[in-house]
């Protein structure tokens, strides 16, 4: 029975851990960032535009804990538009940061989810 309880708990952690919403064009940088974050256990949603990001924030069943986006002039207003649908969402602006720096900052802001441990 303890094994079944552990399985239910790890499944619940996987489905309730906040997602990351990345807003931007699918460049090599974005795709490498997303791939690395997914390998670390994060669920990453990619929106190619502000309206698409707003739609995801309204309709996705999992809470979004972190917004990643370029520091473009039009993107700043997106933060205030998303806030009513994702209270407490944190924001990281990519700017000219390296991939390693972005991965480290994401880990500082939204600790990686616990990895599922295979039972013996």
CA separation for the pair 32, 115 (Å, rounded): 20
Q: What's domain 20-109's superfamily in CATH?
A: Response regulator (3.40.50.2300)
- pTM value is 0.78
Where does the pLDDT of residue 115 fall: very low under 50, low under 70, confident under 90, or very high at 90 and above?
low
- State the average pLDDT over residues 67-76: 80
Mean pLDDT of 29-40: 90
More confident residue, 3 or 24: 24
Residue 79 is predicted with a pLDDT of 87
Q: Are 82 and 56 in contact (CB under 8 A)?
A: no
Write down the domain spans for the chain: 20-109
pLDDT, mean over the chain: 80
pLDDT tops 60 at residue 14? no
Upper half-sphere CA count for residue 34 (Cβ side, 13 Å): 21
pLDDT-derived band at 100 (thresholds 50, 70, 90) equals very high
């Amino acid at each position: 029975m303890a094994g079944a309880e552990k399985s239910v708990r790890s499944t619940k952690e996987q489905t309730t851990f906040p997602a990351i919403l990345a807003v931007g064009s699918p460049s090599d940088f974005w795709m490498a960032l997303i791939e690395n974050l997914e390998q670390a256990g994060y669920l990453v949603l990619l929106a190619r535009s502000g309206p698409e990001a707003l739609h995801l924030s309204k309709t996705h069943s999992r809470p979004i804990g972190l917004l990643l986006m370029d520091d473009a002039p039009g993107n700043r207003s997106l933060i205030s538009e998303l806030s009513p649908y994702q209270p407490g969402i944190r924001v990281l602006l990519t700017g000219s940061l390296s991939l390693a720096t972005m991965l480290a900052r994401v880990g500082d802001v939204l600790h990686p989810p616990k990895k599922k441990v295979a039972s013996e």
